[in-house]
Amino acid sequence: MVCLGNICRSPLAEGILKSKIAEKGLDWIVESRGTGSWHVGGLPDSRSIEVGRNHGIDITDQRAQQIKKQDLSDFDLIYGMDTSNYNNILKMCHTDKQKSKVAMILNESQPGYNQSVPDPYWNDGGFEGVYQMLDKACDAIIARVNS
C-alpha cells in the first residue's frame, strides 16, 4: 500500500486489509509505504487514526516508511493510491516482473477506471470517504487473491 507520505491513505489501507485478513484467518503480510520521506518514523495522521478507530481498526502501531527498491522484490502486490504514486513506483521497477506487481488499488473494486484515492490531507471531511473506498477495494483484493 503506497501513497505520498505514508500517513493518510496507505496506513488506512494497511489497517483495513490487515483487519480483513485476520477475520478470514489468512496468513498475509501487509505493509504500507510512502514515495516521499517527509514523515518517516512518524505516526499516521491523527485523522486517519480517528477514522480507523471509528471502524474498529487501530493503526497506531504503524510508523511511516519510504518505499525501497527491495520492496519491489519482497512483496507480491504493490498498490498505488493515486496515479502519481503509481507512476513513481513503476519508475523504480527494473524488471517486467516487478512492474506486473504494481497496480492502482481502486482498480480492484472498479476495474479499468484507474481512479485515484483522493488525498484527504487538506480536507478533514475526506477521511471517511477514503476509508469507504479502501474498504471496498480491500474486500475485492481478498475475493480475487483468495479465490
* pLDDT one-digit tens code per residue, 75-98: 999 999 999 999 999 999 999 999
Given 3-state DSSP classes, what are the helix, strand and coil percentages for the chain, each rounded to the nearest 5? 50, 5, 45
Please give the class, per CATH, of domain 2-145: alpha beta
Is the pLDDT confidence value at 147 over 90?
Answer: no
**Among this protein's residues, is 3 annotated catalytic?**
yes
What average pLDDT does the segment 48-52 reach?
98
Is the pLDDT confidence value at 124 over 90?
Answer: no
What is the structure's pLDDT at 50?
Answer: 98
Q: Whole-prediction pTM value?
A: 0.97
What is the structure's pLDDT at 146?
Answer: 86
**Among this protein's residues, is 47 annotated catalytic?**
no
Shortest CA distance to 54 belongs to which of 140, 135, 122, 144? 135
Which residue among 9, 33, 71, 138 is the active-site one?
A: 9
Q: How confident is the model at residue 8 (pLDDT cuts 50, 70, 90)?
A: very high
> What are the residues whose beta carbons fall under 8 Å from the beta carbon of 45, sequence distance 6 or more?
7, 8, 11, 121
**Among this protein's residues, is 71 annotated catalytic?**
no
C-alpha 102/C-alpha 72 separation (Å) is 9
Q: Which residue has the higher pLDDT, 114 or 146?
A: 114
Which residue among 3, 8, 71, 138 is the active-site one?
A: 3
C-alpha 16/C-alpha 123 separation (Å) is 21
Which residue among 82, 119, 135, 138 is the active-site one?
A: 119
